Structure 1
């Protein structure tokens, strides 16, 4: 059986960063990146590049800190969104530059991972399928970087066996791109960004689009212009401006300092009034700029959720022409209804409407559980992965209640939870879904419960240090986060995190000997459940109850990880720049070198 020092599962943005950083700091170690697809890239792999796909971020904010995306090489100019094919090319060049391209094994799908409990150092036996053949390999350490958009969820509609037309999820849009030339009328189901993309792609070809958004769902997402607020600020830079992040209640916000002003904004009535005004201005600006109320059809696309309680589903209008013109001129017809069933080349809605159609394209989201099955049975709980709450829980009800009490006492604004849709139901409760589909991903499970959203908070895995999860957060700062998480995970594996972050391996978590600045197991466990539980209260209009999903809290999260690494958190030159200049990839460019220097200094 082949034995490796590290296996990374997934070659998207997080997986490539994790592999690159580990290889950079441990060049003598053996490494493999196992990728189920035929090419690298994750959401940017060639097989998922549907027509018109672009990044929400514009050039300069969606790149690894140590690998700038320059205009001369990639052809994208300042102020432009990045085409999907360019993102693929960029990631391919990153893998080549940092000598990990030859470590990727394509069409290698990991089916199972079995922990070696009998070994004091842990390790994993992986079952992998390649070209229809199963094989096993052993790895001392494992990084799961499959992310939160690896396995699409496609509902099973009643009557679909007689539909007689293409029925596909947007993840497969590229495979059905020929319908852009052949279809006369189409139906798009869903209100997420990929639904908007599909609607735009078909409508700009002159194809009639019936756009169905569930009346029992979360409604249309927030779609902002690239520049927002009366000051016309670049949105993805706006959310990474330190003084603006203070308006967001954040349980890990202390990591960035300035705690007195954070306490003022969220702990006093006057401060909360100011913070509420900020969110009102931000939301009203988007509504005004998009002119939702100027037409009865565009009015249907006005977001149902409060902007403060919306996370990464807050997206950006990155289209070359005015999206809303297609709605106003009648090319796109919006239906707020549920799908009850399908019949031959027709979609039937809960309001009695029957839509003749040439296809049904579903923007219905992703399975939120990892695609790898872990053994022995029940280990999902110890790993901090979503697990059945009717069985033994990772944390007690008392721990959850304690966390809730702390969150709501520190942030009273979160007690007033918005009711964005009183008709809200799980997609599996809608009339149009068959009983055969009432399984994962919507079987109620616990959320992810990972220490700092990366590692299991249990004593066994804090001792073996043989598994981590990269890229299981959603925000606007994906590439920066991947870079910083990769360094944190490598430091964790190599037992090089400062003692105040996690106890060194040579010190037992249960040691009774007092050690200054070393976290106890109990502190690690509580902090983990506190951060996990925070999402439920902070982002009810997003996916915060299931997974780390945040926007204005991304910079404080980076602060937390950089602080964990023992490095400088405030990275701007001067106090005014620190507060007002947006953070970007350039601010973390030398992070790996800084960490290497700090490790050497600690040795001395």
Structure 2
């Protein structure tokens, strides 16, 4: 480590949180609500809070995928978005960045703001287990001359999430390219220069998900000559659903985030046997056929919205945006179409190719079919590296990544997979018996993979360690609600007040989660952490294990039909505190 020898800080913190994105913010808020005078520190590698929502990473065409009322925290509504800047409740991400800054500055515990506890430009590089606690080796990420620091903490929450480390593929000939290239993580910082009159005129965007769509749209609206390349050997382009809702819902998200919809998700976190509708849908051939019909109707509606065979997009290859699988399977992810002119702009102004890249040359890219795509700038909207260790986790010099249950790459992955193979195989048979609709999977691309799946209990807790928790490891359509619920679940576990099952039961549960994920979400589910449609049943499952009920409506029909708004979580921490005090009183 550079910058001179580490200096030992005399303070031992009660809790250290790594990452000041929405998961880290909620972990800190939740812990401090319960322990306002404890010593808590939050490390953030960048200069701003919010992670993907930070002001450093939002740009004009970056809009939310979740609407007002749902995309916020329960203890502070997101206000001040003007009507002219909303589209059926969806809105520009810049307002989220402003909201998060205001949030950390306005939360005060023990006389200190949450913002004052965040140490920016502090990258945790090594996490070492020491006795019952941890030592964090922290590097100043802006100045190598500043001495590295070692800090002690009794407990740790890793909130680095899955959108920290850019995934930039290595392309043959990349060193020969004479233009500019960047990952979409840095798109906001370069937007002004990219869109200036003297900036690049020909831009190639690589990737198939919603982030690639936003970048391609933004560049096209700026008058650039845009080429959008989606790998033939990948999972395919994202589907795009309408932002509009059907009565009584204001938008499409509201209709999906209900407990009625949970019946149709084929979710491992939803116990279909507890309702009459669930028993009908999953226990009868007619019910399973009805589930299939509903999802096919959703796919048809989305396809009709895009009109992939439209005449004005034929010469530009607009049809190449047609997803490979139906929306139900989520193998290629889904985005909300938040602009009336999105499809028109892409169809008329963007050349879309569905082909692998053979190599890069001095002036652009050559595709596998021989197509030459000239580009002054290449933007990789290719997602994130999701495997650990982003932080080295060790004890006595030994790597703890495997034993903690984190997703790892070769050569450790084979060892981890072998240890779990029998459990997952047995669980797979049970999952397919429980959900017969998953036995008929479509054809999909499933390329080589060298990563072991995530083996955290409920996606949060290591099976063998009660001093550390991981939040933000599960990918979902709405991370704000999950951040709030995971934070309470993690803190309860670290406090020792969460009644957990035996280690054997936890291992079986983890194996079942992985097996269901792979069957339900195809290649996206291979690592056991893809919960795109499962936000409501997943958070309900965590809160049920915590023994909490205040988030549910007292009316059966409201509980079934009402969207799960952020405000529904108001009072959860107070309920948890009261429950914990009662339990201690009667011990």
For 2:51 and 2:422, locate their aligned partners in 1 and report how far apart those are by CA, in whole Å: 39
- Deviation of 1:66 (Å): 1.4
Residue equivalent to 1:267: 283
Question: Out of 284, 287, 310, which is 2:303 matched to?
Answer: 287
Post-superposition Cα deviations, 1:371-406, rounded to whole Å, max 9, x if no partner, equal 111113342111011132322558433211221111
For 1:77 and 1:346, locate their aligned partners in 2 and report how far apart those are by CA, in whole Å: 37
Residue equivalent to 1:429: none
The SS at the match of 2:66 is strand
* Residues 253/392 of structure 1: CA separation in 2 closer, same or farther (3 Å cut): closer
Residue equivalent to 2:51: 42
Residue equivalent to 1:7: 16
Question: Out of 113, 117, 130, which is 1:103 matched to?
Answer: 117
1:166 paired to 2:148: no
Question: Out of 533, 540, 556, which is 1:552 matched to?
Answer: 533
Question: Out of 354, 374, 379, which is 1:336 matched to?
Answer: 354
For 1:373 and 1:260, locate their aligned partners in 2 and report how far apart those are by CA, in whole Å: 48
CA contact (8 A) 2:427 2:511 kept: yes
Post-superposition Cα deviations, 1:460-505, rounded to whole Å, max 9, x if no partner, equal x1xxx210011112222211111111111111111222x3xx1xxx
CA contact (8 A) 1:382 1:394 kept: no
- Deviation of 1:573 (Å): 3.5
For 1:216 and 1:230, locate their aligned partners in 2 and report how far apart those are by CA, in whole Å: 40
CA contact (8 A) 2:551 2:568 kept: no
Question: Out of 82, 95, 100, which is 1:86 matched to?
Answer: 95
Mark the runs of 5 or more structure 1 residues left unpaired by the alignment.
427-441, 503-518
Return the TM-score normalized by structure 1: 0.87
Post-superposition Cα deviations, 1:53-104, rounded to whole Å, max 9, x if no partner, equal 1211121110011111123799966834232221111111111121210000
Residue equivalent to 1:124: 134
Return the TM-score normalized by structure 2: 0.90
* Residues 565/231 of structure 1: CA separation in 2 closer, same or farther (3 Å cut): closer
Mark the runs of 5 or more structure 2 residues left unpaired by the alignment.
1-7, 108-112
1:402 paired to 2:426: yes
Question: Out of 452, 457, 467, which is 1:451 matched to?
Answer: 457
* Residues 394/227 of structure 1: CA separation in 2 closer, same or farther (3 Å cut): farther
* Residues 523/487 of structure 1: CA separation in 2 closer, same or farther (3 Å cut): same
1:532 paired to 2:514: yes
* Residues 232/474 of structure 1: CA separation in 2 closer, same or farther (3 Å cut): same
1:227 paired to 2:244: yes
* Residues 567/290 of structure 1: CA separation in 2 closer, same or farther (3 Å cut): same
CA contact (8 A) 1:8 1:19 kept: yes
For 1:374 and 1:292, locate their aligned partners in 2 and report how far apart those are by CA, in whole Å: 47
The SS at the match of 1:125 is strand
CA contact (8 A) 1:35 1:104 kept: yes
Question: Out of 367, 385, 392, which is 2:406 matched to?
Answer: 385
CA contact (8 A) 1:36 1:107 kept: yes
For 2:167 and 2:344, locate their aligned partners in 1 and report how far apart those are by CA, in whole Å: 30
- Deviation of 1:28 (Å): 2.0
Superposed, 1:49-60 pairs within 5 Å as 49-60=58-69
The SS at the match of 1:417 is coil
CA contact (8 A) 1:228 1:286 kept: no
